[in-house]
Amino acid sequence: MTKDDIIALPNPHLRQKSQRVGIVSDEIKQIVQEMEAATISWDMSRPHEVGVALAAVQIDRLYKIVVVRNNYDDKDDHTFTTFINPEITKTDGKLIEDYEGCLSVKDVYGKVKRYEKVKVKALDLNGQEFRVSAEGFLARIFQHEIDHTNGIVFIDHIKDDPEAFYKLDDDGKLVSLDYDKDVHENSILW
């Protein structure tokens, strides 16, 4: 799989709920490998960004599977942790507003409020349940990706706020997006 296999809005599949995985079969493990390959391919095509995570729906597989990069501060680290049937069991702390982007929302970024801490339970590739606690950017990643498994895209949290949208300029800096021209009129997001 490559970056070209990642679906983007307005593809309606991104708005569908993914199904739980019953058994971690060879098919599921193959999907995980495809997710990782697509993320790395996308990452290599973007000079100013790092692909930190991906949900299976983003490669058009409607399963509750998420892969999260082990070291998102190192673009050369191509290792991931797999979360099958991930579920947020607890949120904690304040709602913090920060920038988000998405491999399935082309060239659009936004300021989204997310909880600063979460607890997540999931299955690993051996079908064993495990739990993690996350805060800061990692907590944001989990909330973003688990939203995907429920048919929610980050822009759904900010679609009524024209000032919340941004794009990257040629130098990799965030600049305001012309909401009426770039977003609303062209319906690139809905």
86's CB contacts (< 8 A; 6+ apart) are 64, 66, 120, 121, 122, 142, 145, 146, 149
Closest CA to 90 of 124, 122, 121: 121
Number of Cβ within a 10 Å radius of residue 132: 15
**Backbone region of residue 85 per phi and psi (left: phi > 0; alpha: psi in -120 to 50; beta: other values):** left
Q: Is the dihedral of CA 178, 180, 185, 188 positive or negative?
A: positive
**Marked catalytic residue, from 34, 36, 100, 145:** 145
Closest CA to 64 of 42, 80, 87, 81: 87
36 is a catalytic site residue? no
d(CA 67, CA 69): 7
Which positions are catalytic? 145
